[in-house]
Amino acid sequence: MEYDNKLILAPMVRVGTLPFRLLAAQYGAHITYGEEIIDHKIIKCYRQFNERIGCTDFVEKGTENVVFRTCDEEKDRVVFQIGTSDAVRALNAAQLVCGDVAAIDINMGCPKSFSVSGGMGAALLSKPELIHDILTTLRRNLSTPVTCKIRLLKSPYDTVELARRIEKTGVSALAVHGRQVSDRPKDPANWSGIADVVSALSIPVIANGDVFECDDIQHIKSTTGASSVMVARGALWNASIFSPEGKISYEDVKREYIRKCFLWDNDIKNTKYTLRDMIGHYSSLELAEGKAVTKSESNADLA
Protein backbone atom coordinates (compact mmCIF):
# COMPACT_ATOMS: atom_id res chain seq x y z
CA MET A 1 0.00 0.00 0.00
CA GLU A 2 1.60 3.24 -1.17
CA TYR A 3 0.38 6.65 -0.03
CA ASP A 4 2.32 9.02 -2.31
CA ASN A 5 0.46 10.93 -4.99
CA LYS A 6 -2.87 9.20 -4.39
CA LEU A 7 -6.50 10.26 -4.72
CA ILE A 8 -8.45 8.91 -1.77
CA LEU A 9 -12.12 8.49 -0.95
CA ALA A 10 -12.69 9.69 2.61
CA PRO A 11 -14.53 7.62 5.22
CA MET A 12 -18.18 8.67 5.33
CA VAL A 13 -20.78 7.08 7.60
CA ARG A 14 -23.49 5.21 5.67
CA VAL A 15 -21.94 6.37 2.38
CA GLY A 16 -18.67 4.43 2.18
CA THR A 17 -20.23 1.03 1.56
CA LEU A 18 -19.01 -1.39 -1.12
CA PRO A 19 -21.01 0.07 -4.06
CA PHE A 20 -19.83 3.62 -3.43
CA ARG A 21 -16.22 2.54 -2.90
CA LEU A 22 -16.30 0.68 -6.21
CA LEU A 23 -17.92 3.70 -7.84
CA ALA A 24 -15.13 6.01 -6.64
CA ALA A 25 -12.48 3.54 -7.78
CA GLN A 26 -14.11 3.23 -11.21
CA TYR A 27 -13.68 6.98 -11.68
CA GLY A 28 -10.08 7.08 -10.49
CA ALA A 29 -9.79 6.87 -6.70
CA HIS A 30 -6.62 4.94 -5.83
CA ILE A 31 -7.56 4.25 -2.19
CA THR A 32 -11.07 3.95 -0.76
CA TYR A 33 -11.95 4.15 2.92
CA GLY A 34 -14.97 2.34 4.27
CA GLU A 35 -17.26 4.03 6.76
CA GLU A 36 -16.06 4.05 10.36
CA ILE A 37 -17.05 0.85 12.17
CA ILE A 38 -16.90 0.69 15.96
CA ASP A 39 -14.63 -2.00 17.42
CA HIS A 40 -17.41 -3.37 19.65
CA LYS A 41 -19.52 -3.93 16.54
CA ILE A 42 -17.02 -5.72 14.33
CA ILE A 43 -15.71 -8.07 17.01
CA LYS A 44 -19.25 -9.42 17.36
CA CYS A 45 -19.14 -10.51 13.72
CA TYR A 46 -18.19 -13.66 11.88
CA ARG A 47 -16.74 -13.79 8.38
CA GLN A 48 -18.52 -15.58 5.58
CA PHE A 49 -18.32 -15.72 1.80
CA ASN A 50 -21.54 -14.66 0.12
CA GLU A 51 -21.78 -17.03 -2.84
CA ARG A 52 -24.93 -15.39 -4.19
CA ILE A 53 -23.21 -12.13 -5.11
CA GLY A 54 -19.54 -13.12 -4.77
CA CYS A 55 -18.40 -11.01 -1.84
CA THR A 56 -17.08 -11.37 1.71
CA ASP A 57 -19.43 -10.38 4.50
CA PHE A 58 -18.82 -9.73 8.17
CA VAL A 59 -22.13 -10.56 9.78
CA GLU A 60 -23.21 -9.70 13.31
CA LYS A 61 -23.68 -12.90 15.29
CA GLY A 62 -27.29 -13.76 16.07
CA THR A 63 -28.56 -11.53 13.27
CA GLU A 64 -28.40 -11.24 9.49
CA ASN A 65 -26.97 -7.73 9.76
CA VAL A 66 -23.99 -7.24 7.42
CA VAL A 67 -21.64 -4.86 9.23
CA PHE A 68 -18.95 -4.79 6.51
CA ARG A 69 -19.00 -6.07 2.95
CA THR A 70 -16.01 -6.25 0.61
CA CYS A 71 -14.83 -8.13 -2.49
CA ASP A 72 -11.62 -9.24 -4.18
CA GLU A 73 -11.82 -6.35 -6.67
CA GLU A 74 -11.02 -3.81 -3.95
CA LYS A 75 -8.73 -5.88 -1.74
CA ASP A 76 -5.58 -3.95 -2.68
CA ARG A 77 -7.05 -0.49 -2.01
CA VAL A 78 -9.82 -0.62 0.62
CA VAL A 79 -9.06 0.77 4.08
CA PHE A 80 -11.01 -0.45 7.10
CA GLN A 81 -11.51 2.42 9.54
CA ILE A 82 -12.04 1.55 13.20
CA GLY A 83 -13.68 3.66 15.88
CA THR A 84 -12.01 2.71 19.15
CA SER A 85 -10.84 3.89 22.55
CA ASP A 86 -8.96 0.75 23.56
CA ALA A 87 -5.81 -0.84 22.13
CA VAL A 88 -6.81 -4.45 22.75
CA ARG A 89 -10.27 -4.04 21.22
CA ALA A 90 -8.76 -2.22 18.25
CA LEU A 91 -6.35 -5.09 17.69
CA ASN A 92 -9.08 -7.71 17.97
CA ALA A 93 -11.17 -5.82 15.43
CA ALA A 94 -8.24 -5.33 13.06
CA GLN A 95 -7.19 -8.98 13.22
CA LEU A 96 -10.68 -10.06 12.16
CA VAL A 97 -10.64 -8.08 8.92
CA CYS A 98 -6.98 -7.48 8.06
CA GLY A 99 -6.79 -10.43 5.67
CA ASP A 100 -9.46 -8.87 3.46
CA VAL A 101 -8.35 -5.23 3.35
CA ALA A 102 -5.31 -3.22 2.28
CA ALA A 103 -4.88 -1.18 5.48
CA ILE A 104 -6.31 -0.40 8.89
CA ASP A 105 -7.10 3.19 9.92
CA ILE A 106 -7.97 4.57 13.34
CA ASN A 107 -10.53 7.38 13.41
CA MET A 108 -9.23 10.25 15.54
CA GLY A 109 -11.19 13.05 13.92
CA CYS A 110 -14.93 12.40 14.11
CA PRO A 111 -16.58 15.14 16.24
CA LYS A 112 -20.03 13.51 16.37
CA SER A 113 -21.42 12.85 19.83
CA PHE A 114 -21.92 9.10 19.28
CA SER A 115 -18.18 8.78 18.73
CA VAL A 116 -16.81 11.33 21.19
CA SER A 117 -19.08 10.19 24.03
CA GLY A 118 -17.48 6.75 23.84
CA GLY A 119 -13.98 8.19 24.01
CA MET A 120 -13.48 7.56 20.30
CA GLY A 121 -12.94 9.78 17.29
CA ALA A 122 -11.91 13.34 18.14
CA ALA A 123 -11.92 12.49 21.86
CA LEU A 124 -8.60 10.74 21.28
CA LEU A 125 -6.93 14.00 20.24
CA SER A 126 -6.60 15.01 23.89
CA LYS A 127 -5.18 11.62 24.89
CA PRO A 128 -1.75 11.26 23.23
CA GLU A 129 -0.74 8.37 25.50
CA LEU A 130 -3.79 6.37 24.43
CA ILE A 131 -3.14 7.23 20.79
CA HIS A 132 0.39 5.90 21.18
CA ASP A 133 -0.86 2.74 22.88
CA ILE A 134 -3.43 1.98 20.17
CA LEU A 135 -1.14 2.62 17.22
CA THR A 136 1.92 0.84 18.60
CA THR A 137 -0.20 -2.18 19.56
CA LEU A 138 -1.50 -2.43 16.01
CA ARG A 139 1.91 -1.88 14.45
CA ARG A 140 3.56 -4.59 16.59
CA ASN A 141 0.92 -7.21 15.87
CA LEU A 142 -0.17 -6.62 12.28
CA SER A 143 1.60 -6.96 8.97
CA THR A 144 -1.14 -4.81 7.42
CA PRO A 145 -0.30 -1.08 7.10
CA VAL A 146 -1.74 1.12 9.85
CA THR A 147 -2.75 4.77 9.51
CA CYS A 148 -4.90 7.28 11.34
CA LYS A 149 -6.94 10.40 10.58
CA ILE A 150 -6.89 13.48 12.83
CA ARG A 151 -8.21 17.02 12.96
CA LEU A 152 -6.30 20.19 13.71
CA LEU A 153 -5.83 21.10 17.37
CA LYS A 154 -6.28 24.61 18.75
CA SER A 155 -2.71 25.66 18.00
CA PRO A 156 -0.38 24.76 15.12
CA TYR A 157 2.29 23.78 17.66
CA ASP A 158 0.00 21.27 19.39
CA THR A 159 -1.08 19.78 16.06
CA VAL A 160 2.51 19.33 14.90
CA GLU A 161 3.62 17.82 18.20
CA LEU A 162 0.78 15.29 18.09
CA ALA A 163 1.56 14.47 14.46
CA ARG A 164 5.22 13.89 15.34
CA ARG A 165 4.21 11.58 18.15
CA ILE A 166 1.96 9.65 15.79
CA GLU A 167 4.76 9.35 13.23
CA LYS A 168 7.02 7.76 15.85
CA THR A 169 4.56 4.88 16.28
CA GLY A 170 5.49 3.68 12.78
CA VAL A 171 2.24 4.39 10.95
CA SER A 172 2.42 4.37 7.16
CA ALA A 173 0.63 7.70 6.64
CA LEU A 174 -1.36 10.37 8.45
CA ALA A 175 -4.56 11.98 7.15
CA VAL A 176 -5.27 15.50 8.39
CA HIS A 177 -8.68 17.14 8.16
CA GLY A 178 -8.07 20.89 8.05
CA ARG A 179 -10.68 21.75 10.66
CA GLN A 180 -10.77 21.78 14.44
CA VAL A 181 -13.29 19.75 16.43
CA SER A 182 -15.41 22.84 17.07
CA ASP A 183 -15.58 23.74 13.36
CA ARG A 184 -18.61 22.90 11.31
CA PRO A 185 -18.66 21.78 7.66
CA LYS A 186 -19.62 25.32 6.59
CA ASP A 187 -16.45 26.71 8.19
CA PRO A 188 -13.56 26.95 5.71
CA ALA A 189 -10.83 24.34 6.02
CA ASN A 190 -7.45 25.60 7.23
CA TRP A 191 -5.03 24.31 4.61
CA SER A 192 -2.09 26.14 6.21
CA GLY A 193 -2.58 23.98 9.31
CA ILE A 194 -2.15 20.90 7.12
CA ALA A 195 0.97 22.45 5.57
CA ASP A 196 2.50 22.80 9.05
CA VAL A 197 2.12 19.05 9.57
CA VAL A 198 3.49 18.22 6.12
CA SER A 199 6.65 20.26 6.75
CA ALA A 200 7.25 18.53 10.09
CA LEU A 201 6.86 14.89 9.03
CA SER A 202 8.71 12.48 6.77
CA ILE A 203 5.80 10.06 6.27
CA PRO A 204 3.09 10.80 3.66
CA VAL A 205 0.45 13.27 4.83
CA ILE A 206 -3.01 13.07 3.27
CA ALA A 207 -4.77 16.44 3.01
CA ASN A 208 -8.53 16.57 3.59
CA GLY A 209 -10.98 19.46 3.57
CA ASP A 210 -12.85 21.66 1.05
CA VAL A 211 -12.10 19.63 -2.08
CA PHE A 212 -15.26 20.04 -4.13
CA GLU A 213 -14.03 20.43 -7.71
CA CYS A 214 -11.29 18.79 -9.77
CA ASP A 215 -9.18 21.95 -9.63
CA ASP A 216 -9.27 21.85 -5.82
CA ILE A 217 -7.24 18.64 -5.85
CA GLN A 218 -4.15 20.25 -7.33
CA HIS A 219 -4.76 23.44 -5.35
CA ILE A 220 -4.71 21.72 -1.96
CA LYS A 221 -1.64 19.71 -2.95
CA SER A 222 0.31 22.78 -4.01
CA THR A 223 -0.84 24.80 -0.99
CA THR A 224 -0.11 22.16 1.64
CA GLY A 225 2.66 20.13 0.02
CA ALA A 226 0.72 16.99 0.94
CA SER A 227 1.52 13.70 -0.75
CA SER A 228 -2.09 12.77 -1.38
CA VAL A 229 -5.59 14.19 -1.27
CA MET A 230 -8.67 12.81 0.47
CA VAL A 231 -12.12 13.81 -0.79
CA ALA A 232 -15.39 13.54 1.13
CA ARG A 233 -18.39 15.68 0.17
CA GLY A 234 -16.97 16.50 -3.26
CA ALA A 235 -16.93 12.77 -4.01
CA LEU A 236 -20.35 12.18 -2.47
CA TRP A 237 -21.92 14.76 -4.77
CA ASN A 238 -20.12 13.49 -7.86
CA ALA A 239 -17.68 10.59 -7.56
CA SER A 240 -16.18 11.35 -10.96
CA ILE A 241 -14.23 14.15 -9.26
CA PHE A 242 -11.44 11.54 -9.17
CA SER A 243 -11.36 11.15 -12.94
CA PRO A 244 -8.22 12.43 -14.71
CA GLU A 245 -10.51 13.53 -17.57
CA GLY A 246 -12.64 15.66 -15.26
CA LYS A 247 -16.14 15.27 -13.91
CA ILE A 248 -18.93 13.77 -15.97
CA SER A 249 -22.67 14.27 -15.66
CA TYR A 250 -24.01 13.83 -12.15
CA GLU A 251 -26.98 11.98 -13.66
CA ASP A 252 -24.66 9.37 -15.17
CA VAL A 253 -22.79 8.94 -11.90
CA LYS A 254 -26.05 8.57 -9.99
CA ARG A 255 -27.32 5.88 -12.36
CA GLU A 256 -24.05 3.97 -12.05
CA TYR A 257 -24.26 4.15 -8.25
CA ILE A 258 -27.80 2.75 -8.28
CA ARG A 259 -26.70 -0.05 -10.62
CA LYS A 260 -23.90 -1.02 -8.24
CA CYS A 261 -26.22 -0.91 -5.25
CA PHE A 262 -28.51 -3.36 -7.05
CA LEU A 263 -25.65 -5.67 -8.08
CA TRP A 264 -24.09 -5.75 -4.61
CA ASP A 265 -27.36 -5.90 -2.67
CA ASN A 266 -26.62 -2.74 -0.72
CA ASP A 267 -28.68 -2.00 2.39
CA ILE A 268 -31.57 0.05 1.02
CA LYS A 269 -31.39 2.47 3.97
CA ASN A 270 -27.80 3.32 3.10
CA THR A 271 -28.59 3.57 -0.61
CA LYS A 272 -31.39 6.03 0.09
CA TYR A 273 -29.28 8.02 2.55
CA THR A 274 -26.52 8.45 -0.04
CA LEU A 275 -28.90 9.25 -2.89
CA ARG A 276 -30.71 11.86 -0.84
CA ASP A 277 -27.40 13.63 -0.19
CA MET A 278 -26.46 13.41 -3.86
CA ILE A 279 -29.82 14.66 -5.09
CA GLY A 280 -30.14 17.32 -2.39
CA HIS A 281 -26.94 18.99 -3.54
CA TYR A 282 -28.36 19.58 -7.02
CA SER A 283 -32.09 20.01 -6.45
CA SER A 284 -34.85 19.93 -3.87
CA LEU A 285 -35.76 16.64 -2.26
CA GLU A 286 -39.37 17.84 -2.39
CA LEU A 287 -39.40 17.40 -6.15
CA ALA A 288 -40.57 14.17 -7.80
CA GLU A 289 -37.20 12.43 -7.82
CA GLY A 290 -36.50 13.07 -4.13
CA LYS A 291 -39.95 11.88 -3.15
CA ALA A 292 -39.55 8.72 -5.24
CA VAL A 293 -36.29 7.87 -3.46
CA THR A 294 -37.91 8.41 -0.08
CA LYS A 295 -40.79 6.05 -0.97
CA SER A 296 -38.60 3.30 -2.45
CA GLU A 297 -38.39 0.06 -0.49
CA SER A 298 -35.64 -1.76 -2.39
CA ASN A 299 -32.70 -1.18 -4.72
CA ALA A 300 -34.83 -2.70 -7.46
CA ASP A 301 -37.37 0.11 -7.00
CA LEU A 302 -34.61 2.64 -7.59
CA ALA A 303 -33.22 0.80 -10.60
The answer to whether 195 touches 218, Cβ cutoff 8 Å, is no
Our CA angle for 253, 35, 302, nearest 5°, is 40
DSSP bridge pairs for 229: 7, 207
- The residues assigned a catalytic role are 110
Give the C-alpha distances (Å, rounded to integers) separating 89 from 51, 171, 207.
30, 18, 28
